Structure formats: C-alpha cells, structure tokens
Amino acid sequence: MGRIRVLIVEDSLTVRKRLREAIEEDSAFEVVGEAADGLAAVEKCRTLRPDVVSLDMELPGINGVDVARRVMADCATPILVVSASVNRGEALNTFDALQAGAVEVYDKSQMGSNPGWSADLRALLRQVSRIPVISRAWYGEGGMLKRAAAARDAASGTARVEPARSADAALDTPLRLVAIGASTGGPAAVARILGALPPTFPVPILLVLHVAPLFGGMLVEWLGQQTPLKVTMATEGMAIPTPGAPATVFVAPPERHMIVEAGRLQLTADPEVHCCRPSIDVLFSSIARECGSNVLGCVLTGMGCDGAAGLLAMRRSGARTLVQDEASSVVFGMPREAIALGAAEFVLSPEEIAHALCQYAVARTRRSQSS
C-alpha cells in the first residue's frame, strides 16, 4: 500500500512546519504540498490530488469554509479541519466546514498542551483518508438555508415512510420524545434534520453527538443557528418537557453520559462505552427502560457501532426506530450496525427523517389534543 498523501493548508509558516514534521514522523505519510491561502489550497488540491487535506479555517483570500465548499464541489477529497476551539469565530466556521463536506476535526490547541498530539493528528488523518467522499454542488450564498426551508415546508406534508404498523395504531399514544445519535459526519446530518423541522415541532429532542470536547459549547450555538427550534446543553436534573410547541433540543455535554430517569435528564461520568462519552447506547438504553413505546430513536452517520444496541432495545420496547441511509452518510458504520442487529425500522435520508418526525410526532400530538 502506498503512503498517505497529505496537503497541508495553513497560513502560519511556523504551524505548517510543525504539522509537516509531525506528519512525516511516520513513514506511512507523505506531505505532497502546502498552501498558505485559500485559493492556492483549492488549486493544489485539484492538481496534486492528495488523499487527505489538513485544513485551517482562518486563511487569506477565501477562508476554510469556502475552501471546503470548493474542494467538495470540484475535486472531492477527504478533509480534516485543524481548528482552534478557543476562537469562537473559528469554531463556528469549523461546523460550517463540516456542513460543507469536511469529515472530522482536530483541535489545534492540542499542539501546545498534549504531548501526544502528533500521534493523535496522524491517527485522525489516517482515519479520514480512508473515508470515501462524494462531490457536493454548492448552491451559492444562502443555498443550504433555502434548501432547509424548502424541506421544512415539505415536512408538513406526507412523509415518505411506509409504517410497519397501521396509521391508526401509530396515532394511539402521544410521542413523548425523540432521541438522535450521530458521530462522524453528524453535525451536517443533524443540521439537515433540525433545519427541516417547523418551528411548531412539539416534541422534545435529546441529542448525542460525538465531537471533540472543546467544541461542545460551540456545537450548541451553531446548531441553534441551523434550526428554528431552541437548542440548549443538557444539565443535571433537567426536567424533560411534556410535548407542546415549540420544542427544545437538549444536547449531551462533552465527557458526560446523558440518561433519562424518572422524567429527568441525568448526567454521569461513568466509563466510556465504545470509546465514547457521551454514548448513544447509554442514552437509548435508558429511554428503552423508562419510556417504552411512546418515543422515537434515530441513529445517523458515524464510525463504529455506538447506538446500535441501544436502538435495538428501543425497538424491542415498542419505539419507532430510524437510521440514516448509506447514500447520505459520511460513514455508514453506525447505521449499518443497527441494521445488522435488526434495530432499524426504516432507513431514510435526513430529509425523510424530518418528514417522519413530523408524521409521527406532530400527528400523534394532534390526535391526543383532539381526543
């Protein structure tokens, strides 16, 4: 197998040198080029055809978000964002880059505080380089927002879902909550779903998303910009609201498992599950124990198997269960594991998931209110 060919995009000469040295410590890697500004980055990606791009966010000319958009439109290449979580603007841009097609994030501040940072960086570059990516056309300024608005309008109509149970049975019990879990590629997938929900969506949503701990706070702020719903970080003992518009999205905080217990959210520092904390399985399993059939669980794009066993427990307890389809997933690992276990009731795109949430959540609530 040939060496992993890396293009480094970074405006600081000092940081570029450190990145090159760290990457080339391992003979399995080859730095094929460097770019100090955004336009040069796009051109070198097009001509050099690297296996993976290490991408800074703050660049002269066009910033890292625009680089990600152009690369994914013109010469789709796996991108690892190398970003500083301590810079609010850069952290928010990081999530925009993930939405544009970048695969994963490495926190640049680790270069000064973590003795093992170079090995961590290489491990992520190796992981990202193996992920097949597809070209994404960018529809100009506001394009994604316009598509989200169109999907949100459509979400009020009939979802493209064929229920395993009859429609009348699906309306018998009001939906208490929705639980969503995602990992690699998750920010963009979650944004597509939440952005397509109407502002009157009535059911609370619990979200576990695997991101670098230092980006957790910015994730909540960024998601709040993608959806008409309120997005907040979960806190210990927080009561889960009863269904009713407008709903809130509760995000599991970094380094804490989130569980449902006696109608409240509890946070624990218990050991990692599947190398993850928060873990999707931990949340889903608690929901299966506590809530039974009046919930909906969803596993989105991600590497590994977190969420599969928990989703199966939810399905066995009578919940509706959805997973993201392969065509729209950055990594199909977690959805594939859920399907293999028999945990998935439906396999859908993010837009179809939004349709389904409206069909089963909004319709159930209307039935409950009218009875």
Does the residue 136 lie in any domain? no
Range from 35-39, 106-110, 316-320 carrying the lowest mean pLDDT: 106-110
Which helix (H) or strand (E) is 295 found in, with range?
Answer: strand 295-299
Residue 311: the pLDDT is: 98
Q: pLDDT tier at 26 (50, 70, 90 boundaries)?
A: very high
Indicate if the pLDDT at residue 234 is higher than 60: yes
Indicate if the pLDDT at residue 255 is higher than 70: yes
User: What whole-number distance in Å separates Cα of residue 344 and Cα of residue 308?
Assistant: 9
Q: pLDDT tier at 67 (50, 70, 90 boundaries)?
A: very high
Does the residue 137 lie in any domain? no
Say if residue 277 is in the same domain as residue 307: yes
| Cis amide prior to 246 (ω within 30 degrees) | yes
Say if residue 33 is in the same domain as residue 164: no
Does the residue 139 lie in any domain? no
Q: Residue 96: which residues within 8 A CB-CB, separation 6 or more? A: 65, 222
Residue 136: the pLDDT is: 65
Residue 284: the pLDDT is: 98
Residue 112: the pLDDT is: 77
Q: Which among 129, 154, 179 is the end of a domain?
A: 129
Does the residue 115 lie in any domain? yes
Indicate if the pLDDT at residue 168 is higher than 60: no
Q: Which among 129, 153, 171 is the end of a domain?
A: 129
Residue 359 in tokens: 């069909």
Residues of the chain above pLDDT 90, percent: 73
Say if residue 286 is in the same domain as residue 165: yes
Residue-range definition of the domain harbouring residue 289: 144-370
CATH code, 17: 3.40.50.2300
- The alpha carbons of the chain give a radius of gyration, in whole angstroms, of 21
Q: 111 or 21, which is more confident? A: 21
Nearest to 5, CA basis, from 49, 68, 64: 49
Mean pLDDT calculated for residue range 347-367:
79
Strand 264-268 to strand 257-261: parallel, antiparallel, or no bridges (unpaired)?
Answer: antiparallel
Q: In this predicted model, what pLDDT tens digit does every residue of 6-19 receive, in sequence order?
A: 999 999 999 999 99
- Which sequence positions are flagged as catalytic? 183, 210, 306
CA-angle at 47, arms to 25 and 122, nearest 5°: 20
Indicate if the pLDDT at residue 158 is higher than 50: no
User: What whole-number distance in Å separates Cα of residue 13 and Cα of residue 208?
Assistant: 37
Beta-strand runs (E) in the chain: 4-9, 29-35, 52-55, 79-83, 104-107, 177-182, 205-209, 230-233, 238-239, 248-251, 257-261, 264-268, 295-299, 320-324, 346-348
Say if residue 122 is in the same domain as residue 182: no
Q: Which among 82, 105, 129 is the end of a domain?
A: 129
Say if residue 202 is in the same domain as residue 341: yes
Q: Residue 298: which residues within 8 A CB-CB, separation 6 or more? A: 178, 179, 180, 181, 193, 321, 322, 323, 324, 353
Say if residue 200 is in the same domain as residue 97: no
Say if residue 262 is in the same domain as residue 366: yes
Indicate if the pLDDT at residue 228 is higher than 60: yes
Say if residue 58 is in the same domain as residue 151: no
Indicate if the pLDDT at residue 114 is higher than 50: yes
Phi, psi of 100 (to 5 degrees): -80, -15
Q: Residue 115: which residues within 8 A CB-CB, separation 6 or more? A: none
Number of domains within the chain:
2
Q: In this predicted model, what pLDDT tens digit does every residue of 125-147 receive, in sequence order?
A: 999 999 988 776 543 434 443 34
Say if residue 283 is in the same domain as residue 206: yes
**CB neighbours (10 Å) of residue 269?**
8
Mean pLDDT calculated for residue range 263-272:
95
Does the residue 161 lie in any domain? yes
Does the residue 229 lie in any domain? yes
Q: 88 or 344, which is more confident? A: 344
**CB neighbours (10 Å) of residue 327?**
9
Are the beta carbons of 10 and 19 closer than 8 angstroms? yes
CATH code, 155: 3.40.50.180
Residue 350: the pLDDT is: 95
**CB neighbours (10 Å) of residue 11?**
18
Does the residue 177 lie in any domain? yes
Q: pLDDT tier at 363 (50, 70, 90 boundaries)?
A: low
Q: Give Cα 247 distance to the centre of its chain.
A: 20
Indicate if the pLDDT at residue 243 is higher than 80: yes
Q: 9 or 61, which is more confident? A: 9
Indicate if the pLDDT at residue 247 is higher than 80: yes
Count the helices and strands in the chain (H runs, E runs).
15, 15
The whole model's pTM is what? 0.85
**CB neighbours (10 Å) of residue 270?**
12
Q: In this predicted model, what pLDDT tens digit does every residue of 181-209 receive, in sequence order?
A: 999 999 999 999 999 999 999 999 999 99
Mean pLDDT calculated for residue range 286-304:
93
Does the residue 138 lie in any domain? no
Q: pLDDT tier at 1 (50, 70, 90 boundaries)?
A: low
Say if residue 96 is in the same domain as residue 154: no
Say if residue 168 is in the same domain as residue 250: yes
Which helix (H) or strand (E) is 218 found in, with range?
Answer: helix 216-226
Helix then strand then coil, in percent of the chain rounded to 5, is 40, 20, 40
**Average pLDDT of the residues of the chain:** 87
Say if residue 171 is in the same domain as residue 69: no
Mean pLDDT calculated for residue range 285-310:
94
